[in-house]
Amino acid sequence: MKNLSFIFFVLISQFSHSQTLDNQINEIEDKLISWRHDFHKYPEVSNREFRTSEVIAKHLESLGITVTRNVGVNGVVGILEGKNKGKVVALRSDMDALPITENNNLNYQSVNDGVMHACGHDSHMSILMATAEILSKNNDFNGTVKFIFQGAEEGPPPGEEGGARMMIKEGVLENPEVDAIFGLHISSLLPMNKVFYKPKGFFASSSRFTVKVIGSQSHGGTPWLGVDPIVISSQIINSFQTIISRESNLTNEPAVISFGIIEGGNRFNIIPNEVNLVGTIRSLDYEMRDYIKQRMIELAEGIAKSYGGTAIVDIVDGADITYNDPELMEQMLPSLKSSAGNNNVILNSAKTIAEDYAYYLNEIPGFMFELGGYNINEERKAPPHHTPDFFIDDSSMLLGVKVMTNLALDFLDSE
């Protein structure tokens, strides 16, 4: 009878603790939204997140969290210790905005010309700041939580270092050594109040390519006196798409080649000497990625030569494949479901977007999940990421705080 009474007492205590946590999370929503609006109004691009990082650092310090500034240029790292020694879990958010001019009529629209939070990093920071506040009020856990606010996720400016790789190089996963890491990415295209996950390959690798096509300049009225790099470029662009549509087994994994920049010429009646093509390769399989790169070089050089020109191809690998640890994801799936509800945790397909969060996962176990940010009751069409119309519903963020808080506590409490 005494044992049953003890078990009942433990269950009641856990329920009470859970209720207190839920109440605290619900009460922080106004702050959460206020932080997000502030970050959205004052966005900063990669490696220039000066104001952003200062806001974050001051908030963490106000909670009694030990803070280190300027990790990986502008990164902020906070360490919150529990009541006893134990495992170390890291929670990560990115901070940088994009060079995009906003097209939303929001009362917190970006005031920084040509810069916008068009990928949701403003919500990621706000969610992690709120998570830090909740955990600092409930630090009776065993172990340590490390909060990683990382800059330059979208890639550092040319000639500079930054992002996850630089933070790892500077020891962000050490002192104390991290046992597991969790991260989220909000989605403007997925319905809010739901969590989307996938073990193994989650987001694609990213490679940046440039193709310099060199011809011979001539008058537009006498094209036979030169070699037209615009015509050559058009053939190269079309041929690259056949690598995907005719040479890649897309039933295994998806792959994408996209052109983002075509530059060449300066007058309507002059055939230029040179055209530059810039774009990205995305793949969920490294062998496919390497084959695509090889074929791009072969086709570009061969096509240019056949027209009497030259093509110089340069390919630089960016983010690796975001590989979610399947064992850890299986272990933590009950935590996701207890936070969001069984029917709101959904196994999803891999995506061909990329995240430099992948580099943390190359070092330690962890995973990233997606948080729905689209209110299906909105009349407006869900806008894609990296566009001037990007928008997420403020009410979608609270579930992110609950999930991140519970992931940290449940992991530290696990055997």
- Annotated catalytic sites, by residue? 96, 153
Calculate the dihedral angle through the C-alpha atoms of 137, 138, 144, 150, rounding to the nearest 10 degrees.
Answer: -50
Query: In 3D, which of 324, 352, 315 has the Cα closest to residue 204?
Result: 352
d(Cα 326, Cα 357) in Å, to the nearest integer?
16
First to last CA, the chain: 28
Q: Which of helix, strand or coil describes residue 337?
A: helix
Strands of 205-214's sheet in order across: 255-264, 274-283, 205-214, 310-317
d(Cα 405, Cα 135) in Å, to the nearest integer?
7
Structure tokens at 349: 């397909």
Calculate the dihedral angle through the C-alpha atoms of 403, 406, 407, 409, rounding to the nearest 10 degrees.
Answer: 160
d(Cα 55, Cα 160) in Å, to the nearest integer?
24
Structure tokens at 329: 């994801």
d(Cα 17, Cα 7) in Å, to the nearest integer?
15
d(Cα 104, Cα 122) in Å, to the nearest integer?
15
CA distances from 152 to 99, 149, 210, 360 (A): 12, 10, 21, 14
d(Cα 139, Cα 16) in Å, to the nearest integer?
16
d(Cα 411, Cα 415) in Å, to the nearest integer?
8
